[in-house]
Structures are given as C-alpha cells and as structure tokens.
Amino acid sequence: MAAACVQAADVRHLLIGELEAGIDAQAGPPRTRLRNKMLAAAALQAGTSRRLTRLGKGKPSKAPYSPAVALLLERLVRARRRRGYLTWLRRAA
C-alpha cells in the first residue's frame, strides 16, 4: 500500500514537472471492442468512472479489466443498490 502511494506521488510529481516544462502529454482516445455505439459509450463511461474512483482511493488509475467488464460491474452494483432501496421503500411505507 505504501509503495503504491509513493509510486503515485512520483507519477504526480513527474506529470507536474512535464506540465510546467510545457510538455504535452500524449493520450489517445479510449478504445473498446463493442460495435454498438451506445454500449461502447456506456462502457467507456463506466471504465472512466471506475478509474476516477480508484484515483480517489489513492490507487493507481490503471484499470485491471476492460471497459465492457467495468460496465457489467457498474450494472451489477446499480441493481444491488436499487434492490436495497426498493426493500427500504417497502418497509418504510
């Protein structure tokens, strides 16, 4: 855990140094193998959301799975939260 925090701090320091030196970071568009444009967009959004969540927790942003898997995980999490909410709603009524 501590090594990951040190590594993340090193990366941030390197990026800030490049930014101050005027060096632009090269980043290509994210890619997915999904052919359906709507599913591909949803998958990329889910992947980006997962990466931001990982960054917020102090972990490296490299996602250990594809955007399609991130979309599947997001849908499962939302379904579980919805079920819990509906159960709470029925009990409260």
- Model-level pTM? 0.64
Domain ranges of the chain: 31-93
More confident residue, 37 or 28: 37
Query: Is the CB of residue 54 less than 8 Å from the CB of residue 63?
Result: yes
Give the model's confidence band at 62: pLDDT under 50 very low, under 70 low, under 90 confident, else very high.
confident
More confident residue, 53 or 11: 53
Instruction: Provide the angle, in degrees to the nearest 10, between the axes of the packed helices 67-92 and 37-56.
Output: 80
The CA–CA distances, whole Å, from 61 to 20, 53, 72, 74 equal 22, 8, 19, 17
Tokens found for residue 7: 């590594």
Query: Is the CB of residue 6 less than 8 Å from the CB of residue 59?
Result: no
